[in-house]
Amino acid sequence: MEKFQSDDIVADMKIKTPGSLLQVKYGSHDVTPGLVLTPTQVQSEPSVKWDADPGAFYTIVMNDPDAPSRKNPKFREWHHWCVVNIPGDNVAGGEVLSEYVGSGPPQGTGLHRYVFLVYKQPAGRTQFSDKRLTNRSSDGRASQSVAAFATSHALGDPVAGNYYQAEYDDYVPKLYEQLSGK
């Protein structure tokens, strides 16, 4: 988990280093911290697993702290996915706050970091009043701090995490079209 420190994720996202590695898989691609994937490879929701207490509830969040670029992160963080009230590690049994949106780094902005964080909900099943976000619009996704979200919902520190990196490919215009609601 030292890559969270050395790749500046802890500092840039103002989080503590996650307690363990989150298993993230896109098709046949197992994500290791810092792995470079393409937007084409990550366009569909991944499968994820962590060492979960089967009687507990969890939240998973995926954000890009490098929007629109790592050199100029004025929209830090761009929000990609959030599922809450996950029983154990059964993401399909959770409540989707933000539908999954794959990577869409703008052309010429270099590699972006896409960070997954899992929080154990200390109060068990929790009522979330946050606006639900569809994957057909980018509204409500820019400048969404995962640290602020965790604080506002008393989630504590991340218990698991992982991340990959991606830069522009020819799938990105299709994603932008999807997010425009067309």
2-179 is classed in which CATH architecture? Answer: Alpha-Beta Complex (3.90)
pTM of the model: 0.97
Instruction: Please give the Cα distance from 38 to 52 (Å, whole number).
Output: 29
Q: What angle do CA 40, 43, 46 make, to 5 degrees?
A: 125
Bridge partners (DSSP) of residue 86 are: 58
Query: Rg for the chain (alpha carbons), in Å?
Result: 15
Instruction: Please give the Cα distance from 57 to 103 (Å, whole number).
Output: 27
Instruction: Please give the Cα distance from 23 to 44 (Å, whole number).
Output: 16
Domain boundaries, the chain: 2-179
| DSSP secondary structure letter of residue 133 | B
The 10s digit of each residue's pLDDT in 4-55 is: 999 999 999 999 999 999 999 999 999 999 999 999 999 999 999 999 999 9
